[in-house]
Structure 1
Amino acid sequence: MLKTHFKSYLALAALILIGVACSKNSSSSSKKPIKVLMVGGGSSHDFDRWYKQEDSQTLQRDGLASVEYTDDPTTIMSQLSDVDVLYLTNNQPINDAATRQAIFAFVDAGNGLVLAHPALWYNWKDWPEYNQKLVGGGSRGHNKYGPFDVTVTNKNSPIMKGVPATFHLDDELYYYKTDPTGTPIDVVATAKATTGPDVFPSIFTVKYPKGRVVGIALGHDAASHTIAPYQTILRNSVKWAAGRN
């Protein structure tokens, strides 16, 4: 009888130890840096300074993410298999059909996509599916660079966690408009010029049926990339896109 109880005790202890080990492994896995592939390059923006340098530092702070930057679109496809989140900041062409298909396949597989300021433009007339399906619309114009206010419209969104209800900055206020035939979006913050009545989506998620997609219309230069609200939004967006919150 004593032997039987002792064996039962050992079996129970073994199960407890396995459970603790699994819990530690799971916790360790959740703390691994999010692997981000950032794609920049094109016109009208200093991609190296504000994306490759500033945004990379913002994301890598406290070990949140590891960031690989490229301004060569031909390298995207070869890197996607080892990436958690694809961060597109570019407005230069992605001409290769296979790379375009690989981006869609990446998101269709349930992965994360963050679309920054330049990548929310209608950049590619020969790739309408990009704006229609992944962006849910896009921008064809913006205010002259200057001051405007950003207001949180969904304070319960994890992307807005720790972001002031309203903040002010100088930037290009993008005239982002949804595509009525495209993927619907969920607006979590809006932008409004200090003069004029027009209000536009500024931060939003795209209700893409498979992956997690975030749009960030802010981001022309230092006045956005270096302020705490923008940095918090970017970090939250990457975490959400990676399924970490």
Structure 2
Amino acid sequence: MLNPILKTCLAFLFLIIFGVTSAQSETVNPIKKKAIRVLLVGGGSSHDFDRWYKQEDVETLQKDGLASVEYTSDPTTILSKLSDIDVLYLANNQPIKDDATRKAIFDFVDSGKGLVLAHPALWYNWADWPEYNQKLVGGGSKGHNKYGPFDVTITNTKHPVTKGVPATFHLDDELYYFIADAAGTPIEVLATAKAADSDKVFPSLVIVKYPKGRIVGIAPGHDAASHTIEPYKTILRNSVKWAAGK
């Protein structure tokens, strides 16, 4: 029979070996975070949707497994896909004509899900759907500067959407004249934009303080000068994470 001292030593040695093996197992097989399911809707006029949204933004969001993204340029497919996603990313300025789809988008956000609104989707695109801009966008844009250089300044550095974004960054884009709707959903401005030749300052990154869902509006995004720079990519990834409640 083993004496008590030897038994104690063997038990201690077993605990050490078991602990090391478990730690190695956790290191080799870490628990993978579930990718955020995103439906990105593009299509319409005045933008290269396939290049900058379907290609560039999808790649940005899928990097390191953050999200799994499905892109569509057919708004009639939105309705059938909403039940299987965490975040709806609207980048289109083409019409969403179907009343059932319009209602489903509101129901989606009312259920607490996330909505990210890109550059083209912050425009007043649809006169026959005023509730979109009033309630989901909290306003919007009806004009912009001529394409050219301007600065974006982060005004709320503590929000998760602005985490890791430089306090100020420069780009070439269409500076949207985003104006909040006084009768619409309130917005929280996270960043502003100002052209060098003007004193006018406009919201460039906003949280739409919708009562139930999480909504982010990103005004820059016309072409490569936005989609390929790190501040934009960080904002987009942060926006999807925050909208998904991550």
TM-score class, shorter: 0.7 to 0.9
2:31 and 2:133 mapped to 1: Cα distance? 37
Q: Which residue of 2 aligns with 1:242?
A: 244
Q: How does 1:102-141 map to 2 (within 5 A)?
A: 102-141=104-143
Q: Which residue of 1 aligns with 2:102?
A: 100
Residue 118 of structure 2 aligns with an amino acid whose one-letter code is: A
Q: Which residue of 1 aligns with 2:65?
A: 63
1:136 and 1:74 mapped to 2: Cα distance? 24
Q: Which residue of 2 aligns with 1:88?
A: 90
Q: Which residue of 1 aligns with 2:53?
A: 51
Instruction: Tell me the percent identity.
Output: 78
Residue 112 of structure 1 aligns with an amino acid whose one-letter code is: G
Residue 74 of structure 1 aligns with an amino acid whose one-letter code is: T
Runs of at least 4 residues off by over 4 Å:
none
2:76 to 74, 77, 82: 74
Q: What SS does structure 1 have at the residue aligned with 2:194? A: strand
2:38 and 2:146 mapped to 1: Cα distance? 31
**Aligned residue-pair number:** 218
**Per-residue CA distance 1:34-83 (angstroms, 9 max, x = gap):** 00000000000000000000000000000000000000000000000000
Gaps (5+ residues) in structure 1? 1-23
**Per-residue CA distance 1:106-129 (angstroms, 9 max, x = gap):** 000000000000000000000000
**Per-residue CA distance 1:122-145 (angstroms, 9 max, x = gap):** 000000000000000000000000
1:193 to 195, 201, 204: 195
Q: What SS does structure 2 have at the residue aligned with 1:44? A: coil
2:31 and 2:90 mapped to 1: Cα distance? 28
Q: How does 1:27-38 map to 2 (within 5 A)?
A: 28=31, 31-38=33-40
TM-aligned CA deviation for residue 162 of structure 1: 0.4
1:105 and 1:209 mapped to 2: Cα distance? 12
Q: What SS does structure 2 have at the residue aligned with 1:62? A: helix
Q: What SS does structure 1 have at the residue aligned with 2:44? A: coil
TM-aligned CA deviation for residue 194 of structure 1: 1.2
Q: What SS does structure 2 have at the residue aligned with 1:170? A: strand
Query: Relative to 1, partners in 2 of residues 1:99 and 1:28: Cα closer, same or farther, differing over 3 Å?
Result: farther
- Structure whose CA Rg is larger: 2
1:228 and 1:155 mapped to 2: Cα distance? 16
TM-aligned CA deviation for residue 28 of structure 1: 4.5
CA RMSD in angstroms, aligned pairs only: 1.1
Gaps (5+ residues) in structure 2? 1-25
Q: Which residue of 2 aligns with 1:40?
A: 42
